[in-house]
Amino acid sequence: MSEQEKKTGGWRTNKWVRAAIPALLLHCSIGTVYCWSVFSQEISEYIGFEKSAIEWAFSFAIFFLGMSAAFLGNVVEKDIHKSSLIATICFSVGMALTGVFIWYGGAHQHSYIALFGIYISYGFIMGVGLGTGYLSPVKTLMLWFKDQKGLATGLAVAGFGLAKAIASPVMQRILYSDVKAQAQRPGGIFMMFWILAVVYFVMMFVGHLLLKKPDSWHEPAAGEKKPGILETIKTKPITNYIGIWLMFYINITCGLALISQEKQIVKCIGLVAMAGAISSVSSIFNAGGRLGFSAWADKLKDRNTIYKLIFILSIAFTGLVILTNGIKNGEGNILFIVLVLGLIFVVNAGYGGGFSNVPTLLSDHYGMGSISAIHGITLSAWAFAGLTGNQMATFIVNHTGEFIEHGTDAAGKVIKVNPVGYQNVLYATGILYLIALILCLVLVKKSGKAAEEAAAKKQ
């Protein structure tokens, strides 16, 4: 080895430089999709459509995230450089085009060209970038961090969850940095998308250049036979995979249902002035759950134990808020406020932990050979949850209870909340969490050390 190779070999074979840092760069960029609530109202007002029509852009983004991950999992498996480049281009171009269509919608009010352009740009193009970007670093991380797979994937996926806490204040600063100028010359909303498109392109492109699998790992050659995805899944009872897919889907659906109503629930219990701060804290719990639950799972005999814990905690806090009618009676009652905030934080942590543990749970069951492809197919659960979670909660809130005036916000706008509707959302999520726990206990088999010990006892 030459002197130059010795000097550069350190960073070229460093697991933090070749896996962890690029994963964070990719996930901290694409994770800003969860900042949608920061600017969705502004988009609605700027282009002249109801907020309910605008909301579909976010649902489409999550749907195409899951579906692109499912259909492009084999591309990620074969070539992470191609997939990370696809992610970089699609995400940044989708964001820039979203800004273009917002600008067009501002100039042509109530234009369906603008509305459908946002659906295509933010929903489809960015969605493809989200799916490939989410998958690209995961297998690489598990290969570099063989003994701490959960910690490694948790670290990267935590970046996805923490992105909202990091990016939201930046977005708000760009949107509202000069209120007087905005009133005279509106345009901060589409300028924000153009600025961030450039920033995220640079971040993701650096991540793309750094990302690399260990030299010791070799994917099968083009002509070499490799077990298909279905063949790999059938190495365990098919009900095992169905159980994993369903409990993952339910956890995301319930998480999105509550998170989508989080801001209004916080206002309902009398914490209007703290809504922004609580949103940031919940994002930290989301990220902490991704890192903490996955690192904890590394020390357990059966990684599925983490999902049992997530569902039990979610059921317990949901039940307590239902029994105390905490959302309706929370204002002025410290105990009820603590219970409601506890529910929000626990659900956020469990929502994040469900994401970070699924690739490692799958690898424990089905090995590393086709993990990107299997993980990609499993993320289709995220796609369908993206269409059902928010919409389920919105339907319940809009069709049960009634909206009442509940003071004014900092801008003097009247706040309307539906305490009964939010409580009814909890009945739905509580039942779903219970179903997920049953699936977790009945269908998902033991894996890892627990499976090895069970096999040894039989012999």
Determine the average pLDDT of the residues in 316-342: 94
Say yes or no: 268 and 382 in one domain: yes
- Quote the pLDDT of residue 55: 85
Q: If we measure between CA atoms, which residue out of 378, 447, 349 comes closest to residue 134?
A: 378
Say yes or no: 160 and 23 in one domain: yes
**Residue numbers of the domain that contains 208:** 15-213
- Quote the pLDDT of residue 301: 86
Asked if the model's pLDDT at residue 38 lies above 50, the reply is yes
Say yes or no: 336 and 399 in one domain: yes
State what percent of residues in the chain have pLDDT above 70.
90
pTM of the predicted model as reported, rounded to 2 decimal places: 0.84
Determine the average pLDDT of the residues in 159-172: 83
Say yes or no: 235 and 177 in one domain: no
At 306, is the pLDDT very low, low, confident or very high (cuts 50, 70, 90)? very high
Asked if the model's pLDDT at residue 409 lies above 50, the reply is yes
Q: Is residue 6 part of a domain?
A: no
Say yes or no: 208 and 338 in one domain: no
Say yes or no: 27 and 142 in one domain: yes
Mean pLDDT, the chain, rounded, equals 87
Determine the average pLDDT of the residues in 41-69: 90
- Quote the pLDDT of residue 180: 43
Q: Is residue 440 part of a domain?
A: yes
Least-confidence region, from 139-148, 351-360, 427-436? 139-148
Name the domain boundary from 188, 213, 238: 213
Q: Is residue 192 part of a domain?
A: yes
Rounded to 5°, angle at Cα 265 from 259 and 267: 125
Q: Is residue 80 part of a domain?
A: yes
Say yes or no: 320 and 402 in one domain: yes
Total domains in the fold of the chain: 2
Name the domain boundary from 183, 213, 243: 213
Q: What is the distance between the alpha carbons of residues 341 and 118, in angstroms, rounded to a whole number?
A: 34
- Quote the pLDDT of residue 455: 63
- Quote the pLDDT of residue 206: 97
Say yes or no: 57 and 142 in one domain: yes
Asked if the model's pLDDT at residue 408 lies above 50, the reply is yes
Name the domain boundary from 150, 185, 213: 213
Asked if the model's pLDDT at residue 443 lies above 90, the reply is yes
Q: What is the CATH number of the domain that holds 258?
A: 1.20.1250.20
Say yes or no: 369 and 412 in one domain: yes
Q: What is the distance between the alpha carbons of residues 4 and 19, in angstroms, rounded to a whole number?
A: 23
At 410, is the pLDDT very low, low, confident or very high (cuts 50, 70, 90)? low
What are the tens digits of pLDDT across the range 170-220? 887 887 654 444 443 456 789 999 999 999 999 999 999 999 988 877 666
Least-confidence region, from 1-10, 112-121, 291-300, 438-447? 1-10
Say yes or no: 119 and 251 in one domain: no
What are the tens digits of pLDDT across the range 16-30? 899 989 999 999 999
Say yes or no: 55 and 178 in one domain: yes
Say yes or no: 326 and 382 in one domain: yes
Determine the average pLDDT of the residues in 322-336: 91
